[in-house]
Chain A
Amino acid sequence: MNVDENSSNIVKLLRELNGNVENLSSKIDRMIELQASLTEILSPKKKPSYEGLPLDVATLLSLPDHLRKTALALSELGEATATEISKKTGRVRAAESDYLNQLVTKGYVAKKRKSHEVYFYIEV
């Protein structure tokens, strides 16, 4: 084997090595992507949440418009049925009942039964 052949073989080997390194590099990239996806699935980033906080003005401002109106009306009345809230907001009772129960689910409002009526109130 002469010097030219040796040089040609070395260049060929280096090209193969470069190709393998590029393959390896792209596989490592893919593994990093997969790991990131897996981490997101196993422990998703928590979205900021105001749920469970007191129903103060900061919470009120964070609520969607339809729930804010209901929550403000309840703040003013202290304790009320869905019918009483609907009289204050001018919206139908069924909608107010739904919104009040959404506020209960979020932990801002509590409810109790007195005879046949359900009363909603803000726990202080």
Chain B
Amino acid sequence: MVKALAVHSYKGGTGKTSISANLAALYAAQGYNVCLLDYDFKAPSIQVLFKTKIRNTLNDFLEEKCEISDALHDVSKKYQMKGRLYVGFAGASTDSMREMMTKDRRWEMKALQRTLSAKNKLGDELRADYLIFDTSPGVSYSSINALATSDFVILVSKMDEFDMEGTKEMVHGIYDSLGRKTGLLLNRIPTEQFPLGAGQKELEEAMARTFNLPFLGVIPCYCDIQVNGGKYLFSVEQPKHPFSQELSEVIKRVDQQLKAI
């Protein structure tokens, strides 16, 4: 049965896209079939990483112009993965983004139903093991539609006060209301704030207490990812990089959480 994950955050710039794309690649490298869906219709960016010719977008799927399988692009051969990696891109033209801004609540209701039914179809038709949503930050229709469809939410936060306060509110206001299990992943932690040894354990425990959520990991801010993160898939091109290694650990923790659901 397909398991759906949503990568979400309160504010932008937390590294959701890098994390969701690299998690998808790591799962596919392990032999799983994965569908990565860009549900950030306000600021689509996954197309920059994969550089693939796009036939249909997820906007077309939600507009009922095509089926979900027609909006997915198989990139596994390009990266020589053991499993299949299918990517669904959001429309990146200004017209597509403007069009999505004009949708009313009835349309959003249909979008939720189509997203929920897509999850089951991808499991049946493409034998997908994992469905990963990259979402827009904060509270927007597309991100909450993705959260409502997901079995588990990877909540990404930086360690600044703005992010942490908003994140706490979102956990109780949205995730708890939807009954979604959530894990916290701290990302882009500046080197001077990054604790080593016992300090890291203390930080993890403090965060788990503050948010009352399982802790998925702490990823420092790597300059080379800031520079090259959008150019290629780090976990594929540099599997030994600490970022890729840490994400492999995140996958283990996510799977532990999924088993408990």
Contact = CB atoms under 8 A, between A and B. Distances in A.
Interface in A18-42: none
Contacts of B117: 76, 78
10 contacts: A55-B109, A57-B148, A58-B105, A59-B105, A61-B173, A65-B177, A72-B148, A76-B120, A122-B109, A124-B106
Given A65-B177, A75-B113, A75-B148, 15 more contacts: A54-B105, A54-B106, A56-B106, A57-B145, A58-B141, A61-B173, A61-B174, A65-B179, A68-B178, A72-B148, A76-B113, A76-B120, A122-B113, A124-B106, A124-B110
Contact of A61 (B109, B110, B177): B177
Nearest to A57: B144
A58 B110 CA distance: 13
A122 B120 CA distance: 18
B174 A56 contact: no
Contacts of A124: 106, 109-110, 113
B105 A53 contact: yes
Given A75-B116, A122-B113, A56 B178 contact: no
Chain A interface bracket (under 10, 10 to 19, 20 to 34, 35 or more) = 10 to 19
Interface in A32-87: 53-61, 65, 68-69, 72, 75-76, 78
A60 to B, nearest CB: 7
**8 closest pairs, A vs B, by CB?**
A56-B109, A57-B144, A54-B109, A76-B116, A56-B108, A54-B106, A56-B105, A54-B105
Contact of B179 (A53, A58, A69, A122): A69
A59 B141 CA distance: 11
B29 interface: no
Most chain B Cβ neighbours within 10 Å, of A55, A56, A68: A56
B88 to A, nearest CB: 19
Interface string A106-123: 000000000000000010
Contacts, number: 54
Contacts of A54: 105-106, 108-109
Contact of B177 (A56, A68, A76): A68
Contacts of A61: 144, 173-174, 177-178
B171 to A, nearest CB: 14
Interface in B192-235: none
B141 to A, nearest CB: 6
A37 to B, nearest CB: 36
Most chain B Cβ neighbours within 10 Å, of A55, A57, A60, A75: A57
B185 interface: no
B184 interface: no
B179 A60 contact: no
A57 B173 CA distance: 13
A18 B145 CA distance: 68
Contacts of A53: 105
Contacts of B109: 54-56, 59, 122, 124
B46 interface: no
A121 to B, nearest CB: 10
B112 interface: yes
Given A57-B144, A61-B174, A61-B178, A75 B112 contact: yes
Contacts of A57: 108, 112, 141, 144-145, 148
A76 B145 CA distance: 11
A76 B179 CA distance: 15
